[in-house]
Amino acid sequence: MTAARRPTPTVPDTVTQAAHLGRARTAQTRVLLEDYVELIADLAGDAADAPPIGPSTLARHLGVSHATVIKCIGRLSREGLATTLPYRGVTLTQAGLALADRVRRRHRIVVALLRAVGVPEAEAAADAEGIEHHVSDKTLAAFERFLRHTPVG
């Protein structure tokens, strides 16, 4: 039972595989933060006077309870991505805005790539919401290159 008798060729070297899976696990811890800052930025609009967004609004868009949102806003704030005052909603910090920009850009590119390889609109929109969080910078760069060098969609 120490190992498979034949180290099947489909199995990559052990430490590499562990690293890949670990990386995916780590990415998971960022998913919630990324979705929140992306949504907050989208809702607040691009004006300089971005208005604070309330928990119930976020809850509606996220499809979770407002209690859950309030807890997660605590984490956002602990991580320095947003500021919040009781009964006064949440506003992104500079760091939060910077992250939101990166996340929104990546989201757009992922959707565009999916569309470009023939994924239907609705599926692209839905799947991108999960895929985006696992697209590294290098992969994103490759996506952009592909989109530039590909005629239409």
Partner DNA sequence: CCGCATATGTAGCCATGGCTACAATTCGGT
Partner DNA sequence: ACCGAATTGTAGCCATGGCTACATATGCGG
Binding site for DNA (CB under 7 A): 1-2, 25, 29, 31-32, 54-57, 63-68, 70-73, 75, 84-89
79 touching a second copy, by CB under 8 A: no
State which residue, 4 or 48, has the beta carbon closest to a second copy: 4
State which residue, 61 or 66, has the beta carbon closest to Mn ion: 61
Find which of a second copy, DNA, Mn ion, none residue 5 binds, CB within 5 to 8 Å per kind.
Answer: a second copy
- Encode the chain in three state secondary structure: CCCCCCCCCCCCCHHHHHHHHHHHHHHHHHHHHHHHHHHHHHHHCCCCCCCCECHHHHHHHHCCCHHHHHHHHHHHHHCCCEEECCCCCEEECHHHHHHHHHHHHHHHHHHHHHHHCCCCHHHHHHHHHHHHHHCCHHHHHHHHHHHHCCCCC
Which of 42, 127, 129, 144 touches Mn ion by CB under 5 A? 129
Question: Which distant-in-sequence residues (6+ apart) come within 8 Å of 93 by Cβ?
Answer: 80, 81, 82, 83
Find which of a second copy, Mn ion, DNA, none residue 84 binds, CB within 5 to 8 Å per kind.
Answer: DNA
Which of 69, 107, 110, 115 touches Mn ion by CB under 5 A? 107
State which residue, 76 or 133, has the beta carbon closest to a second copy: 133
Which region among 37-45, 52-60, 79-87, 109-117 touches Mn ion (by CB under 5 A)? 37-45
